[in-house]
Chain A
Amino acid sequence: MTLHVRPTDTKKLISGATGDWEVVIGLEVHAQVASNAKLFSGASTAFGGPPNDHVSLVDAAMPGMLPVINQECVAQAVRTGLGLKAQIHLTSVFDRKNYFYPDLPQGYQISQYKQPVVGEGEVIVDLPDGESIPVGIERLHLEQDAGKSIHDLSPTQSFVDLNRSGVALMEIVSRPDLRSAEEAKAYVTKLRTILRYLGTCDGDMEKGNLRADVNVSVRRPGEPFGTRCEIKNVNSIRFIGQAIETEARRQIEILEDGGSISQETRLFDPTKGETRSMRSKEEAHDYRYFPDPDLLPLVLKPEWVEDLKAKLPELPDEKKARFIADYGLSPYDAGVLVAERETAAYFEQVVDGGGVKRDGKAAANFVINELFGRLNKEGKDVTSSPVSPQQIGAILDLIAEGTISSKIAKDLFEIIFTEGGDPRVVVEARGLKQVTDLGAIEKVVDEIIAKNPDKVAQVLAKPTMLGWFVGQAMKASGGKANPQALNDILKAKLGI
């Protein structure tokens, strides 16, 4: 085992009434496997649909029905394991996890207990302040999702829909390596990015396709782990952060009042901002796992695993390193661009000027500051951007050639964003070209100097006043004057 122990980081401590506390967090992320059919049946995994429509007799646990494993679900779990730099276990076993609930018709969930398909791995988590921390992955296993119970359709009854019953899930268990709500959020964000790059889970948290059980405990720095509580089924990254903050505070208060934490399962209520005990689940914790006699061990051929490995796409860490090396981007900008595969692809199309590479830094700045800012305002993302990478490329070329100033480029971008069109044609048609005709600039400068003798006197005494003249001249030229030429002419005319 690669047990690495994180030294206490004083920045991450929470101060209580009687001193500092360290929060220790581990996560179990449930990620729905992207597949057409379910883990052990031929029914569809499509979201929604009429109740009990995406259900085969296997999913409904009719007597005599036998599970047959979907090979693609296994491949997706293996791809994910490879993406997490984890050990792939060539032999793994499916077990029955026994408990009763109306949305679990079998009376057990088929899961993997002692021999999961994927073992130890590691995720590098990038924090907003630029720090990167390794987070250990303990295991990843395949299991079935349960059906869905709806409690608000009748005052006396619960309604059960088995459409999700039997859909494949990957449970990805981290080591207790996280030390703050911020780190936990960054971990889930990174994990989601990796899954989306791999195409093994769509990461749609609103549909419940990615959700987390959060284990939280607190301790005095340097002491052994405290007793943990598990917060079940948190379904947004923001709520994961809130649940951790809330739960850590609750535990610290109890301990500082001389109490002790009892290990239990809790639920986070975002509207009340509190976690509360789910006492009814306590005794159900005796799952009496045993190997599922309906399923032989899952044995993978090494060459099949190698083949999946060879076909993996470029992953975010590698892409980020390449963007930094090839395009000279800052780690921060590279991180922003690789967060989504689509965004990274868009950026690379902007840079690709048809054989001649455009300047990476300029492209990154424009994409991050202008395009993302504008898309955010409209609630859109790059996949629904009204401006194509080629149009942005053309704007960048116009700036690079000196045809337009970077200030005009913003106006031009706004026109293209709202009205569309070829940037070169728009520049011609609307007269947005930068004025580099020195005679025209001189004329403007002469007029301003003639009209403002008081300012001329001031600038001679205080050369920083030059900015005022630049501003006036720019205004008079409609922002089109070449800034360098304008500066030179002003200095020459004013004699400074």
Chain B
Amino acid sequence: MSVDQATVRRVAHLARISVREDELGHLQSELNAILEFVEQLADLDVSGVEPLTSVVPVELPMRADVVTDGHCPEKVLANAPDAEGGFFTVPKVVE
């Protein structure tokens, strides 16, 4: 599997990373090198093998349906670049 320049441009855009046109070629070869490396895994026959989701035998931990958190708007907003009246404020986004 390999990606073309158009795909690199699209992936960058979807990730909101600004990439100059002259950087695309370089990124394309880097990404393809990574993909090629990962592709070695395809040589293994894993038919009938359950995907490994954890290396230790643990189950998904669960919480009880109890309110134990929140009521800390000052903490939530502490690092906000911009806030007003308890809200985060961002440049206007309208449909």
Contact = CB atoms under 8 A, between A and B. Distances in A.
B95 A50 contact: no
B91 A157 contact: yes
6 contacts: A36-B65, A43-B69, A52-B86, A157-B90, A158-B91, A162-B76
Interface in A131-164: 149-151, 153-162
Given A42-B67, A44-B70, A60-B76, A102 B95 contact: no
Contacts of B88: 52, 102, 159-162
A55 B80 CA distance: 14
A278 B95 CA distance: 7
Nearest to A148: B87
Contacts of A37: 63, 65-69
Interface in B39-78: 53-54, 58-73, 75-77
B94 A57 contact: no
B53 A69 contact: no
B68 A42 contact: yes
Contacts of A160: 87-90
Contacts of A71: 62-65
A35 interface: yes
A72 B87 CA distance: 30
Contacts of B70: 41-44, 53-56, 59
A42 B68 CA distance: 5
Contacts of A102: 88, 90, 93
Interface in B1-34: 10, 13-14, 16
Interface centre among B62, B68, B76 (most CB of A within 10 A): B76
Interface of A: 35-37, 41-44, 50-60, 68-74, 98, 100-102, 149-151, 153-162, 267, 278, 280, 283, 286, 288, 295-299
Contact of A296 (B59, B64, B68, B87): B59
Nearest to B92: A158
A69 B93 CA distance: 31
Nearest to A52: B73
Contact of B87 (A42, A101, A161, A286): A161
Contacts of A100: 16
B61 to A, nearest CB: 6
A35 B66 CA distance: 9
A158 B65 contact: no
Contact of A101 (B14, B66, B67, B93): B93
B76 A52 contact: yes
B73 A288 contact: no
Given A298-B60, A299-B60, A156 B92 contact: yes
Nearest to A99: B14
B67 A55 contact: no
Contacts of B64: 70-72
Given A37-B63, A42-B70, A70-B63, A51 B86 contact: yes
B56 to A, nearest CB: 11
A351 B65 CA distance: 38
Given A57-B76, A267-B95, 9 more contacts: A50-B86, A52-B87, A55-B72, A59-B70, A69-B63, A154-B89, A159-B88, A283-B14, A297-B60
Nearest to B75: A57
B15 to A, nearest CB: 8
B91 A98 contact: no
